[in-house]
Structure 1
Amino acid sequence: MARIGYARVSTADQDLETQLAKLKAEGCEVIRSEKVSGGSRDGRAELATVLDFLRPGDELVVTRLDRLGRDTRDVLNLIYECEQKGAFVTVLDPHVSTRGEMGHVVLTVLGMVAQMERRFTKERQRDGIEQAKRAGVYRGGKRRLDRDTVLRLKQEGNGPAAIAGALGCSRMQVYRILSEA
């Protein structure tokens, strides 16, 4: 019976240390972490590894439910998958576990709240962008890749896949930059 911790933040510039410290303090023998959006399960390799690793009696521990996912259906599906393997899910804040029936009800409600919170955040973001556009101060999102580096690598004879691999981004991002140039 193992306690397996899972930590997640949405972007590369966010810090995992607080979550990792809490999971270690809870006695998690194994802790997997990643920096990827929780909006869906796509691209969450560490979560997939945890789910593959779970055995009967194991416990998946997360600091907050929204670290597991932001979509109610995804969260409930994850919990269901854990239960099908005979494993439990425990959320530290607030402390809730699927070991008891009441835990399922609370986790379902918390999952719905996480999804609602995500929708509100996106709505506020859209409103802020529209307001900034009307004021003429919107400049778009922060550029994540140095376009000059992409173009230099292309001039050196590298293909889009090699450039993406070297810069740690998707080929699609490279294709967009190359098509703009």
Structure 2
Amino acid sequence: MKQVIAYYRVSTHRQGKSGLGLEAQQMAVQNYCKLSGYEVIHEIMEVKSTRKGRFGLLQALEMCRETNAMLVVARLDRLGRDVEQIAGIVKSNVEIVVTDNPHANRFTIHILAAVAEDQRQRISENTKEALCAAKRRGVILGKNGTMLAIANKKAAQEFALQLSPVITRLKNKGITSVRAVCRELNKRHIPTFRGEGRWHPSTVGILMNRLKYTMTSP
């Protein structure tokens, strides 16, 4: 039986204390390993931004080398937020599996990281343009929740981007309607944008519209 080290990461202490982000990652990894016949011999959980170092990830990689185990993460962005970070990990001579894209090889992981970074850059640029446009209209940023609304919009777009591989796989299986996607997301216990509750057709519709906007924005 193949042995694996599971690595989970959330970026804020609020998410870590709530367990919402960690629980979703843990469930995805455990379900994948169970279906694949893999044995999870150790789990490493890290509550830290990638900008502040990744001691837990380095520890997980070292344990993989010592035990000849495979590193398993729930999503690609748990390894890092830019191509340079992920490229270094891919070159670490440790076998890596990302559960939301388990057939991706080292080359594919690198390409996916590059695409994700480009999409995040687009979101950032669109947000800056929205702020500049608001200033030109005479809007006082930070007043009446305007700044918060823009920040929430950016966060929602990034969340949609994170779920894009899941939506793509469902589409490839012929699951395309809002209601069908809704059932699958709930069946897989994938958390909503707020991290709690169940998916509904209306929230799935919003997600898919945001994803379409993110993918087509210039």
Aligned counterpart, 2:49: 37
Root mean square deviation of aligned Cα: 2.4
Computing the radius of gyration from Cα coordinates, the structure with the larger value is: 1
Cα distance in 2 between the residues matched to 1:116 and 1:66: 13
4+ long deviations beyond 3 Å:
127-134
How much has 1:120 moved relative to structure 2?
2.2
1:132–1:138 CA contact under 8 A, matched in 2:
no
Give TM-score, length-normalised by structure 2: 0.52
| Letter of the structure 2 residue corresponding to residue 138 of structure 1 | G
Q: State how many pairs are aligned.
A: 130
- DSSP-derived class of the 2:141 partner: coil
Tell me the distance in 1 between the aligned counterparts of 2:14 and 2:126: 21
Deviation at 1:124, TM superposition (A): 3.3
Please state whether the residue corresponding to 1:16 is helix, strand or coil: helix
1:102-131 Cα distance to aligned partner (Å, 9 max, x none): x12211211111211221232233334445
Letter in 1 for 2:129: D
Which residue of 1 is the match for residue 14 of structure 2? 13
Which secondary structure does the structure 2 equivalent of 1:13 belong to? Answer: helix
Aligned to 2:97: 90
Q: Greater RCO between the two (CA within 8 Å, min separation 6)?
A: 2
The answer as to 2:112 corresponding to 1:106 is: no
Structure 2 gap segments, 5+ residues each: 16-20, 34-38, 149-218
User: SS of the residue aligned with 2:90?
Assistant: helix
Unaligned stretches of 5+ in structure 1?
Answer: 98-102, 142-181
For 1:12 and 1:128, the matched residues in 2 are separated by 29
Output the CA distance in 1 between the equivalents of 2:30 and 2:48: 21
Report whether the alignment pairs 1:52 with 2:62: yes
The structure that is helix-richer by fraction is: 2
| SS state at 1:135 partner | coil
- Structure 2 match to 1:135: 139
In the alignment, the residues of structure 2 paired with residue 132 and residue 29 of structure 1 have an alpha-carbon distance, to the nearest angstrom, of 52
